[in-house]
């Protein structure tokens, strides 16, 4: 479980990027975070990754207070989280397969396990036939799916995506969302930051709205009826 308790983040003395934010996200939930540009969405994610520290308040994940994580405990904590960047950040000189395998090697996974798991991950994101391609020969949506497979590689409990559909068109962003929903059904907590109101309406999930550093709504949306 993720818990924000009265969290304030000041980057400077003047305006808080987040102010007195409290929220809970239970295990296995699928949550959208929405809000205008500058609202504080990425700040919330950075706090969760402990790339930034809260100025006030506490963030507690699975019973651990993030402010107390240190040299040994922080890397272990971060391994629980699979993060999908807006700009994919794939290695251009590595194939699809290698991009995913690399993430597993980096944490010391055995060759045998990697050989078994990478095809499985590529199947989840529907790219098993493109394992040997290089990123340059993939569409934006496909590249994003590789990034998703890589985020899943080490079986994290949490999947966090900051604007995962930012650089791709409507049809492909729908595909990514379908996959994220599928992943949340694998008992993972999925947090998706977006400013695409259309996606939120189509997928009907819990939506936390942030505006000017405050949580202004937190409600469950019903999915739109299929036309």
Ligand X SMILES: Nc1ncnc2c1ncn2[C@@H]1O[C@H](COP(=O)(O)OP(=O)(O)OP(=O)(O)O)[C@@H](O)[C@H]1O
Using CB under 5 A, list all residues that contact Mg ion. 42
40 counts as binding ligand X under rule CB under 6 A:
yes
Q: Which of 11, 91 has the CB closer to ligand X?
A: 11
Distances (CA, A) of 59 to 79, 169, 179: 17, 34, 28
Cα 18 to Cα 6: distance, rounded to the nearest angstrom = 10
DSSP state of 225: P
Q: Which of 84, 125 has the CB closer to Mg ion?
A: 84
The entry of ligand X, Mg ion, none that residue 38 binds, CB within 5 to 8 Å by partner kind: ligand X
Q: Which of 47, 152 has the CB closer to ligand X?
A: 47
The entry of ligand X, Mg ion, none that residue 205 binds, CB within 5 to 8 Å by partner kind: none
160 counts as binding ligand X under rule CB under 6 A:
no
* Min separation Cβ 22 and ligand X, Å: 17
User: Which letter, b or e, does each residue of 109-129 get, where b requires 16 or more Cβ atoms within 10 Å of its Cβ?
Assistant: eeeeebeebbeebbebbebee
On whether the CB atoms of residues 191 and 34 are closer than 8 A, the answer is no
Helix runs in 23-95, H state only: 41-49, 73-78
Tokens encoding 185? 């059904």
* Min separation Cβ 177 and Mg ion, Å: 18
User: Binding residue for ligand X (CB under 6 A) from 7, 17, 146, 152?
Assistant: 17
Residue 63 CB: number of other CB atoms within 10 A? Answer: 7
35 counts as binding ligand X under rule CB under 6 A:
yes
Q: Which of 152, 199 has the CB closer to ligand X?
A: 199
- Which residue in the shown chain puts its C-beta closest to Mg ion? 42
| Residues between 185 and 224 that touch ligand X (CB under 6 A) | 195
Tokens encoding 163? 């604007």
On whether the CB atoms of residues 215 and 208 are closer than 8 A, the answer is yes
Q: Applying CB under 6 A, which part among 23-31, 37-45, 77-85, 106-114 lies near ligand X?
A: 37-45
User: Binding residue for ligand X (CB under 6 A) from 43, 143, 144, 194?
Assistant: 43
Tokens encoding 201? 């309406």
Interacting residues toward ligand X by CB under 6 A = 11, 17, 35, 37-43, 195
């Amino acid at each position: 479980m993720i818990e924000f308790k009265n969290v304030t983040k000041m980057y400077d003395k003047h305006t808080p990027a987040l102010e007195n934010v409290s929220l809970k996200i239970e295990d296995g939930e699928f949550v959208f975070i929405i809000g205008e540009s500058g609202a504080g969405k990425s700040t919330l994610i950075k706090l969760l990754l402990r790339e930034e520290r809260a100025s006030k308040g506490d963030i507690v994940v699975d019973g651990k207070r993030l402010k107390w994580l240190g040299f040994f405990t922080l890397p272990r904590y971060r391994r629980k989280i699979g993060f999908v960047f807006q700009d994919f950040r794939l290695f251009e000189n590595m194939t699809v397969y290698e991009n995913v395998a690399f993430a597993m090697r980096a944490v010391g996974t055995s060759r045998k396990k990697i050989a078994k798991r990478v095809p499985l991950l590529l199947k989840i994101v529907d790219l098993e036939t493109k394992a040997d391609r290089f990123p340059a020969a993939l569409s934006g949506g496909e590249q994003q799916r590789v990034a998703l497979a890589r985020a899943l590689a080490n079986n994290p409990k949490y999947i966090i995506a900051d604007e995962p559909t930012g650089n791709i068109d409507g049809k492909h962003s729908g595909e990514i969302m379908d996959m994220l929903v599928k992943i949340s059904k694998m008992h993972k907590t999925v947090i998706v930051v977006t400013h695409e109101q259309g996606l939120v309406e189509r997928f009907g999930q819990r939506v936390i709205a942030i505006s000017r550093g405050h949580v202004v709504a937190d409600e469950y949306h019903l999915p739109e009826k299929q036309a």
